Amino acid sequence: MIRVLLACWCWLLGAAASAQTPSIELDEVLASSLRHFPQILAALERTEAQAGKVLASEGAFDLQLENTTYTRALGYYDGKIVDSKLVKPLPDFNAKVYGGYRISDGEFPVYEDELFTNGGGEFKIGAVFSLLRDRDIDERRFALRDNTLALTQTELEARLTQIKVQHQATQAYLSWLAAGKALEIYRGLLVLAETRQDGLEQRVADGDLARVYLNENRQYILKRSSKVAEAERLLANHANRLALYLRDETGAPRPPQIAELPGAWPDLGRIDATALEATIAATKADRPEVGLVAADVERERNRLALGNNALKTRVDLNLEASRDIGGGSFTRDETDAIVRLEVTVPLERRTGLGKVAEARANLSRLELERQFLNEQIEVEVRNIANDISAAERFLDLAGQEVEQAEILERAERERFEDGASDFFVVNLREEAAADARVRHIEAQLGFQQALTNFYAATVQLDRFLIVDY
């Protein structure tokens, strides 16, 4: 009787502690891992680093101040020139516009007459355009486009990391919850044997029962105690795994306590089997892996364009207007308008041909990879949908098995109390019912894990508290 009272007292204390300690819900774990998990934070830092590369590439089009000083330090002539110019590269036509001011002083030889300016100096504006080679793409624009596409890829990789981590966090939470529920069943089974031991001892003392039943029940207590110990070990392991995702405000792992186990499974919803084809089509468009391959294709197309660009003749047009002010030669009094046309013909084009051949081969490879990736995604989603359907059936069957096992357990216990059943059979019925409950927990875990797999495979971000951008 004392052992029964102690067991009931411990149960009441545990229930009171559970009532005071708030349970850990799935959303709490997901929010914590999204905010603190190192892999997610590292992926975001890689995105920031790539954004810095994009900014550096944009710097190729920054406004520049160019200044040149020319001085004849020795010799008969003592001419000096200061030439300052603002140059602004433009992203179209490999163009650049410029404007500047130049002023000279001293004497120059006649063959350097173009260096002279009037007393007030010379103002100049102009623009340069590429008409063939570098018109549509050049190294600067290629670098900017390539780094921008690389930024898109790092963002997609960060999204992949988020989905992977949140998926793992959900699985860890479900496994921890299932382990806690299994421990509860095994502890209840042990309490039955311990409670029965007190009753058996009283009956043996009264002479109503042989002492051998006490030894047999002690054997059941030891057997069930071993199951409790194993269940406690599994729960502790799952708690340690969950601590990787459940973190405190400093970002340190926080192992969950037994008192924080929730009483019910999280509601993960259901999938609509009739909308599977539409879901597969949407998944092929939404999966980050597909976006990564698409970005790779675009990067190779830019490399192909750069290779074709290297095969073209360079034709650069320079339009310039200048005017001197102040006193000086009348030959410099008027506005000068100058048109320059520079032509460069590549005679050997191995660099461009090699780049073109490489890019075309890579494009063919990427198209094959994209085809296979889409096929893989379709098979993956269909298989997970099959897993969910099977898991639902297993869950229903496991529930029916629990019902039947509990009916037999109650009936056998009543027969034993009436003296119509064997002590050995009662214990078998109790353990069979407990095993059926554990199998039902495993079936529930399998079903919820299959649902989680489906949500991850079909990029249902809201299921993992991930905000789309």
pLDDT digit string, tens, across residues 319-363: 999 999 988 777 777 889 999 999 999 888 899 999 999 999 999
Whether residue 35 is predicted with pLDDT greater than 90 in this model: the reply is: yes
**Is 219 a residue whose pLDDT tops 50?**
yes
For residue 321, give the H/E element and its range: strand 314-324
Res 209: pLDDT: 66
Question: Is the pLDDT reported for residue 371 higher than 90?
Answer: yes
Q: What is the mean pLDDT of residues 305-315?
A: 95
Least confident of 105-109, 213-217, 232-236: 213-217
| C-alpha torsion 303→309→310→314, nearest 10 | -160
Query: Taking phi first (over 0 means left), then psi (-120 to 50 degrees means alpha), and beta for anything else, what does residue 356 get?
Result: alpha
Per domain, the residue ranges of the chain are 2-56+141-299+359-464, 63-140+312-350
Q: What is the pTM of this model?
A: 0.86
Which pLDDT score is estimated for 20?
Answer: 67
Q: Average pLDDT over the chain, rounded to whole?
A: 91
Q: What percent of the chain has pLDDT over 70?
A: 94
Q: What is the CA radius of gyration of the chain?
A: 40
What is the distance, to the nearest Å, from the Cα of residue 448 to the centroid of all Cα atoms in its chain? 22
Q: How far apart are CA 163 and CA 40, in angstroms?
A: 10
How many angstroms separate the CA atoms of 261 and 236, rounded? 12
Percent of the chain at pLDDT > 90 equals 75
CB contact at 8 A, 341 and 316: yes
Contact 81, 103 (CB under 8 A): yes
Residue 7's pLDDT band (boundaries 50, 70, 90)? very low
**Which alpha helices (H) appear in 418-457, and where do they start and end?**
423-457
Task: Please state the φ and ψ torsions of residue 157, each to the nearest 5 degrees.
Answer: -65, -35
pLDDT at 408: 92
pLDDT of residue 2: 41
- Tell which residue, 391, 374, 373, 369, has the closest CA to residue 454: 391
3-class secondary structure per residue, 267-291:
CCCCCCHHHHHHHHHHHHHHCHHHH
Q: Which pLDDT value is given to residue 420?
A: 67
Out of 69-83, 322-336, 393-407, least confident range: 322-336
What does the pLDDT read at residue 291? 96
Tens of pLDDT, residues 151-206: 999 999 999 999 999 999 999 999 999 999 999 999 999 998 888 877 777 767 76
Do residues 270 and 32 make contact, with C-beta atoms less than 8 angstroms apart?
A: no
Predicted confidence (pLDDT) at residue 64 exceeds the cutoff of 90: yes
Closest by alpha carbon to 29, among 231, 167, 156?
167
Residue type, 15: A
Element (H, E) at 126: strand 122-130
Mean pLDDT of 406-418: 84
Hey, what are 367's tokens? 């198209």
Question: 100 vs 203, which has greater pLDDT?
Answer: 100
Q: What local confidence, expressed as pLDDT, does residue 167 receive? A: 98
pLDDT higher than 60, residue 9: no
Compute the distance between CA of residue 93 and CA of residue 132 in angstroms, rounded to an integer.
9
The pLDDT of residue 19 is above 70: no
pLDDT value of residue 97: 97
- Residue 396 C-alpha from the chain's centroid: 35
Helix (H) or strand (E) holding 366: helix 350-417
CA distance 95 to 249: 52
E strand intervals along 335-440: 336-344
The per-residue DSSP string of 134-182 comes to: TSS--HHHHHHHHHHHHHHHHHHHHHHHHHHHHHHHHHHHHHHHHHHHH
> What is the pLDDT, as a whole number, of residue 421?
65
Separation of alpha carbons 287 and 160, rounded Å: 9
- Give tens-digit pLDDT for 441-451: 999 999 999 99
Give the separation between CA 423 and CA 425, rounded to whole angstroms. Answer: 6
CATH 2.40.37.10 assigned to domain 2-56+141-299+359-464? The reply is no
